[in-house]
Chains A and B, each alone.
Chain A
Amino acid sequence: MTRTIKTVGVCGAAGTMGAGIALVAARAGFRTISYDMKEDALERSAKQSAAFLDKSVERGKLEASKRDAIVGAMSRTTDISALEDCDLVIEAVFEDLATKQKLLDRLDAVCSEDTIFASNTSTLSITEIASGSKVPTRVVGMHFCLPAQLMKLIEMSPGILTSEETFESAWAWTKACSQIPVRTQDKPGFILNALLVPFNNDAIRALEAGVASAADIDKAIKAGLGYKMGPLELIDLIGLDTQVRLCEAFYPITLDPRAATPPLLRRMVAAGLLGRKSGKGFFDYEGNAMYGA
């Protein structure tokens, strides 16, 4: 049996992921409540979402009436008690176990016993997050990809105590949103990051080991395997500091040497080479040119 979901709450809705997830929900016709602790950020992200929808209308990908319906389905709040009627609450707050557990504890007090709580965590355990709720059977992993409003994939993971009904209901909801769910165990990095983070580290280590230049490493992976992006330009996009955080989240749990922070990565972050956002990482982004660093 799956639960009927009509109203969806998104926590951390002013953030990168939360804003995209709210769009996914509203676009599929669900009444969507965007909750964040930061009011100004919530206003800013509402404007960005409106601009995204306007662009979709301009490009002919969305009818103007549909846009109005989506905007009409969305509301925003900094008051957590506004989530009381939600059938599903998806959290995309900071990637911090205590923050997420505390949020679930507060949601317990606000929502009905059978509201489903989904976590968009990338690196934490669903089971550990779920322990923040008095009803851990209602908590499920629902990992969207960036940017959520454009990417179809969702990694769905049950924690140890997640009920099958919770999982099935959340799964059905992702399909109702025209997303594409895959089922994975509650293990560090699920599928995507478990494969990607060590692979990206290996590329950094190959560079450090003098196997080839940054440009040739990326070119080899693209031409040889048909990937759209080379690993080093991808890390530049993700941010080298974020890559360090991913390593620090996974390595202590898995002790997989491939997940450990490569020394070169640490040095580059110390030198302020963070990738695109700082103008330079493995490649140079100043003046639109892209050179090997």
Chain B
Amino acid sequence: MTYAIIQDGPSRSFAEGDKFLAGATDRDADVIVHCGTPFVADPGKAAILVELGDESLAEHIGEDPAVTNALGFARYRNGDDAPSKLVELVRPASASDAAVAAAAKVFKEAGLEVVVSSDQIGRIVNRLVIPKYNAALRFLDEGLATQADMDLTCKLGLGYPDGPLERIIRGGLENHYDTTQALFETYGTPAYAPPRRAVVSKNMSRRRDR
């Protein structure tokens, strides 16, 4: 399965020098991958993929049921940490199985792990992990335990490679704010409301930028 990458600006999924970028061919390829460039319909392609941030795929491709080969994707990444091996493929209701298979193949051949998510904000990982991170930040404010003890509990008790608090802080509290805010605007549930420490970090950076 050949693929072409049409890119404008940096990609959150593929940093400069990423193996996936090197494997791309020209625009005659079976699959088109948009990174920061506008979606252009082309029914002749096996799949057209649009890189996503925290937004819905429909913002890029619309909700037209006749478009069967357009999909979204994002490589999961904790803030500024290096991208993980996980690609979340976003499948709109209109997508054909063949388009999903073609898209999955492109990423798998590049050594990435692929899961399929519906077009809901936060996809799988952020939808699930952000409320836990918010709870951990709140617990820290409320004095439940120290950061070190909360992180240690998750590592020893649950086998996580790192604790939730060290992870959020390493990835950047501002990034955490942006993601949780996007989820909060969509779902309105308190679990996604930006926690104090993330708000502080965001406001301080806004003040610096002013």
* Residues in chain A within 8 A of chain B (CB atoms): 145, 151-153, 155, 180, 182-185, 187, 190-192, 194-196, 198-199, 202-203, 206, 209-213, 216-217, 219-221, 223-229, 231, 257-258
Interface pair A185/B158, CB less than 8 Å apart: no
| Whole-angstrom CA separation of A211 from B115 in the bound complex | 11
Residue in contact with B161 in the complex, picked from A212, A220, A221, A226, CB distance below 8 Å: A226
Most B CB within 10 A of own CB, among A183, A187, A190, A194: A194
Residue in contact with B153 in the complex, picked from A153, A199, A212, A228, CB distance below 8 Å: A153
Interface range for B: 35 or more
| Whole-angstrom CA separation of A210 from B127 in the bound complex | 13
Closest chain-B Cβ to A204's Cβ sits at a distance in Å of 10
Residue in contact with B135 in the complex, picked from A195, A219, A228, CB distance below 8 Å: A195
- Chain A residues near B191 (CB-CB < 8 A): 198, 202, 257-258
* Residues in chain B within 8 A of chain A (CB atoms): 76, 78, 84-86, 88, 113, 115-118, 120, 123-125, 127-129, 131-132, 135-136, 139, 143-146, 149-150, 152-154, 156-162, 164, 189-191
Residue in contact with A210 in the complex, picked from B78, B118, B143, CB distance below 8 Å: B118
| Whole-angstrom CA separation of A152 from B155 in the bound complex | 11
- Chain A residues near B84 (CB-CB < 8 A): 223-226
Residue in contact with A182 in the complex, picked from B85, B127, B136, B145, CB distance below 8 Å: B145
Closest chain-B Cβ to A95's Cβ sits at a distance in Å of 18
Give me 13 A-to-B residue pairs in the complex whose CB atoms sit less than 8 angstroms apart, sorted by A's number. Answer: A145-B156, A153-B156, A187-B144, A192-B158, A198-B131, A211-B117, A212-B118, A219-B115, A224-B88, A224-B129, A225-B161, A226-B160, A227-B160
A-B contact count (CB 8 A): 142
| Whole-angstrom CA separation of A31 from B17 in the bound complex | 62
Q: Which residue of B lies closest to A145 (CB)?
A: B157
Closest chain-A Cβ to B155's Cβ sits at a distance in Å of 9
Residue in contact with B145 in the complex, picked from A151, A185, A224, A258, CB distance below 8 Å: A185
Interface pair A221/B149, CB less than 8 Å apart: no
Q: Which residue of A lies closest to B125 (CB)?
A: A224
| Whole-angstrom CA separation of A180 from B157 in the bound complex | 10
Residue in contact with A223 in the complex, picked from B113, B135, B149, CB distance below 8 Å: B113
- Chain A residues near B145 (CB-CB < 8 A): 182-185, 191
- Chain B residues near A220 (CB-CB < 8 A): 76, 86, 88, 115, 117, 123-125
Interface pair A199/B132, CB less than 8 Å apart: yes
Interface pair A216/B139, CB less than 8 Å apart: no
Closest chain-A Cβ to B125's Cβ sits at a distance in Å of 4
Interface pair B158/A227, CB less than 8 Å apart: yes
Closest chain-A Cβ to B197's Cβ sits at a distance in Å of 16
